[in-house]
Copies of this chain bind each other. A is one copy, B any other.
Amino acid sequence: MKDVKSKATEAEESSLELANVSEEIRNEALQRAAAAIEKNRARILEANEEDVAEAKKLLEKGEYSQALVDRLKLSKDKIDSISRMIRSVSERDDPLNRTIFARKLDENLKLYKVSVPIGVIGSIFESRPDVLPQISSLCLKSGNAVILKGGSEAEKSNRVLYRVFKEATERAGIPEGWTQLIEARREVRELLELHDKVDLLVPRGSKSFIKYIQDNSRIPVLGHAEGLCHIYVDKEANLERALQISYDGKVQYPAVCNAAETLLVHHEIAEDLLPKLAEKYREAGVEIRGCNRTREILGQINEATEEDWRTEYLDLIISIKIVGSIRRAIRHINKYGSKHTDAIVSERGSRLIEFLNGVDSSSVMANASTRFSDGYRYGLGAEVGISTGKTHARGPVGLEGLTTSKYYLVGDGHIVEDYVGPEARPFKHVELSETWRQERDSLEE
């Protein structure tokens, strides 16, 4: 058995080669992986059945939830949708070798800033076995090596999916060792320490799981620990829209990170809005917890405490607070929110702008539901995750978030000595329309 450090070293070495594998070969490898998954459907289902049987035993003992067993279970249809997902990643535009800018520094001295892979991605995720092929596809498409650690409950499924994916892609010309699997929990701790070899961590899972990763590694982490999203209904809101968006944000799918947890309502509109909204919420089984003023309007509801403003329910519960001004709403969100997604409903443009500018979150919506905050809906294609961090990538992250940049400077013998001192040649610094791909092709000839 190789240890984590050897696996990471293999990944690192492989990543240097993988960075230069052509778009054609990367795409072809993904197509072959999709076909291999279909071909090995029976084998994958068999391994998955073993995982599910094991999980059911633990469910009976009360150690697992039914939801976990459901998420774990693969079916013929699910496997087909995995293959479709892999093919759709293959068909997206190449995220590599994009020209970020091109500049002529002087005659025959051309600077290109170009997108390149990051290197080695560490992906740690819980339960669902379809995450493994998804992350593998995104990493391969963006030229990154990957170290995968799935949940122990999906161990057998992940092992087969990993093998099938690895063999199909390496046979298509992807450098050996580009994908690595680790299985033991102690290996995760070792992985978190390898900041010299692993460039970025992309964890998926619960809030406590992500926090654990963030607190125990110096490697940059892409993701979010929680989505404590707000909807603010302004005094100049259209009432019908406010009802629709407040309902959609909470009820449409309450278990996800971009669902709304707190509603902030301008005091001038509260008496019109809240009774109608409370009725809609009650029909959907939503528990309302409110500030004192909300309770005066709505009568018998629970009090929202300080703790409620800080809670991501992920459930059919909403806390409601009446605020005296848009500024107070913005302040509440910046204080209690998780910098994920927040929305305003208002018919006044200048108030929309005040809110969009003032709320310090990765996505801010004007007259639209918080639930739109998602890589697929944003048109980014497959989603790596949603980042609430301030550096690198922010908000829903697509393939671009798995790339970094590199400067190429192409001269014909240029030295700095000519550009310093009293006789210094001046720089031209003119933007070029030429792309790096064109420059590269003309050099290759």
Contact = CB atoms under 8 A, between A and B. Distances in A.
Contacts of A252: 415-417, 420
A110 B232 CA distance: 19
Given A379-B103, A390-B119, A416-B252, A365 B409 contact: yes
Tell me which of A19, A334, A410 has the highest count of chain B C-beta atoms within 10 A of its own C-beta: A410
Name the interface size band of chain A. 35 or more
Interface stretch (A87-95, A123-131, A177-185, A239-247): A239-247
Nearest to A17: B358
A407 B364 contact: yes
B248 A417 contact: yes
A84 interface: no
A404 B391 contact: yes
A95 to B, nearest CB: 14
Contact of A377 (B247, B352, B396, B427): B427
Contact of A369 (B218, B390, B416, B445): B416
A373 B404 contact: no
A379 B444 CA distance: 27
B416 A248 contact: yes
Given A252-B420, A350-B444, A427-B379, A372 B409 contact: yes
Contacts of A238: 413
Contacts of A363: 406-409
A353 B416 contact: no
B411 A105 contact: no
Interface in A387-441: 390-392, 394-396, 404-417, 419-420, 427, 429, 440
B19 A368 contact: no
Given A379-B427, A443-B350, A240 B408 contact: no
A159 interface: no
Contacts of A16: 334, 358, 360
A254 B415 CA distance: 14
A11 interface: no
Contacts of A442: 349
Instruction: State how many copies of this chain the complex holds.
Output: 2
Contacts of A200: 390-391
A184 B105 CA distance: 42
A444 B366 contact: no
Contacts of A373: 407, 409
Contacts of A151: none
Tell me which of A20, A358, A394, A414 has the highest count of chain B C-beta atoms within 10 A of its own C-beta: A414
B390 A404 contact: yes
A45 interface: no
Given A394-B405, A404-B394, A415 B358 contact: no
Contacts of A415: 244-245, 247-248, 252, 368-369, 371
Interface of A: 16, 19-20, 103, 105, 109, 111, 113, 118-119, 199-200, 214-215, 218, 220, 238, 240-241, 244-245, 247-248, 252-253, 334, 345, 349-350, 352-353, 356-358, 360-369, 371-373, 377-379, 390-392, 394-396, 404-417, 419-420, 427, 429, 440, 442-445
7 contacts: A244-B413, A245-B415, A252-B420, A361-B406, A363-B408, A364-B409, A395-B406
Given A352-B443, A379-B427, 7 more contacts: A118-B391, A363-B407, A365-B408, A367-B412, A371-B416, A372-B416, A390-B404
